[in-house]
Amino acid sequence: MNTAIIGGGAAGLFLAINLKELIIKSGRNAKTMQVTVFEKNDKILSKLEISGGGRCNCTNTFEFANKNGSFFDDLAQVYPRGHRSVKKMFHIFSPKDAFKWFETHGVKLKIEDNGRVFPQSDDSHTIINVFKHYAALYDIDIRLNDSINSLSRVEHFDFICVACGGLLHNNLLSLLKVEDSIIVKPIPSLFAFNVEDSGLRALSGTTLNGVTLMFPKTKFKVSDSVLITHKGLSGPAVLRLSSYAAVFLNEANYNTPLLVNWIGRNNEDATATVNHCKILHANKMIMNINPFALPQRFWEYILVRVVPNRLNIRYKDLTEKEISRIVDAVCNDKYLIKSRSNNKEEFVTCGGVDLSCIDINTMRLKADKRLFFVGEALNIDGITGGYNFQVAWTTAFIAAQEICNIYLSNPVQ
């Protein structure tokens, strides 16, 4: 028997190696299953190589802290698309299984904040080298610079696995003659916001913690750190919001107002803090005492905007109206998102093959049982933190297991 895997990325390589290992475990000769990986680039795993800033955040412990631990409550918060299916799939191949797999294959791992898992070497090449080692050991045929752009190229294979990554710039499915109806429109997720505000952009490099972001009149709201960039806003809160609101933002053509509460506290609370400061520091200049522990340059930016002619006054001279304007700028700030960033920092595709068309216990397409879909090509995507690679490992393992089961159900040749 033979298996074609289209795409030499995370899911494709994991599928190929696990298929061989499952066959070996069954006691059969691995050579009786020919595995060919077609990769359009001149090297495999190019996205994994640059992932996690070159360190590859390969999975997550999924041990969610509670709100006070400022982490997540459930799977839906880390997989805005596909969380129900992912939960079921984890019964077959869980994040713990992935952790164990890497360690038993020679990749020592470490756990960082928010449960993020990295190789101890802090180098994605540790994982790439392990994949290359096992691919060579099991005689997996890797064809580089070999783009599959017609079904005729692979139709003689017993099994065809599509592991070609996000479908945003990929017309592979139409070439495979898979009907368009199985595709949920692919759009970007995990991107920064471009905002036209020269004062804000001048603060590029500043990070603020505990910021709440939301889109007016929607349910999309996130509290976390924000990084001000030379183009607008980025950082964990922005990336997460871009993921939760990926469809909303696409429909708004990435042009929509954004509400920002820079301190994540309500107006009353913030007003009381300024009034308290007024009593404690009556004779101090407002510019010099920053009541919300904001970065000093950011505090100056707020004052320049709301009390431009009164920057040198003392706290005792601050009027009620001015306090209200400062509080409003800090707690109810508004920006216009003009576009999204294109720098592919942690970019992932939202959309892809509709999960209702896939048997998630096998990763087979219901309409064509020879075809398997794994990894980012599926309509599953996560926020940052190792969640997207975990989908690649889990779906690839499930497909490998199914192909192995079918193979074993055939008499020994």
Locate tokens 């398997």: which residue? 372
How big is the site for ligand FAD, counted in residues (CB under 6 A)?
Answer: 38
Q: Which two tokens stand for residue 210?
A: 């505990």
Residue 220 as a binder of ligand FAD (CB under 6 A): the answer is no
Per CB under 6 A, the list member of 2, 147, 250, 290 interacting with ligand FAD is 147
State in angstroms the smallest separation of the CB of 96 from ligand FAD.
16
Residue 340 as a binder of ligand FAD (CB under 6 A): the answer is no
Q: Which of 112, 34, 22, 153 is nearest to 162 (CA)?
A: 153
Coil/strand/helix, residue 212: strand
Q: Which of 353, 405, 357 is nearest to 374 (CA)?
A: 353
State in angstroms the smallest separation of the CB of 45 from ligand FAD.
7
Per CB under 6 A, the list member of 46, 206, 207, 275 interacting with ligand FAD is 46
State in angstroms the smallest separation of the CB of 48 from ligand FAD.
6
Containing 350, the helix (H) or strand (E) segment is strand 348-353
Residues of span 75-94 touching ligand FAD by CB under 6 A:
none
From the list 128-136, 161-169, 193-201, 202-210, the region that binds ligand FAD by CB under 6 A is 161-169
Q: Which is nearer to ligand FAD, 232 or 386 (CB)?
A: 386
State in angstroms the smallest separation of the CB of 173 from ligand FAD.
10
Per CB under 6 A, the list member of 3, 5, 9, 138 interacting with ligand FAD is 9
State which amino acid sits at residue 145.
N
CB 391 within 8 A of CB 206: no
Backbone dihedral region for residue 208 (phi beyond 0: left; psi -120 to 50: alpha; all else: beta): beta
Residues of span 12-41 touching ligand FAD by CB under 6 A:
12, 38-41
Residue 341 as a binder of ligand FAD (CB under 6 A): the answer is no
Per CB under 6 A, the list member of 82, 235, 352, 386 interacting with ligand FAD is 386
Q: Which of 8, 26, 6 is nearest to 407 (CA)?
A: 26
Residue 57 as a binder of ligand FAD (CB under 6 A): the answer is yes
What is the distance between the alpha carbons of residues 388 and 382, in angstroms, rounded to a whole number?
Answer: 5
State in angstroms the smallest separation of the CB of 397 from ligand FAD.
13
Please identify the residue of the shown chain whose CB is closest to the bound ligand FAD. 9
Which of the 8 DSSP states describes residue 65?
Answer: -
Q: Which residues contact 360 (CB under 8 A, 6 or more apart)?
A: 85, 88, 89, 398
From the list 74-82, 130-138, 157-165, 309-317, the region that binds ligand FAD by CB under 6 A is 157-165
CB atoms within 10 A of CB 41: 15
Residue 346 as a binder of ligand FAD (CB under 6 A): the answer is yes
Residue 293 as a binder of ligand FAD (CB under 6 A): the answer is no
CA angle 404, 171, 81 (to 5 degrees): 65
CB 393 within 8 A of CB 101: yes
Coil/strand/helix, residue 279: helix
Interface contacts to ligand FAD, rule CB under 6 A:
6-12, 38-41, 46-48, 50-52, 56-57, 147-149, 163-165, 170, 172, 344, 346-348, 375-376, 386-389, 392
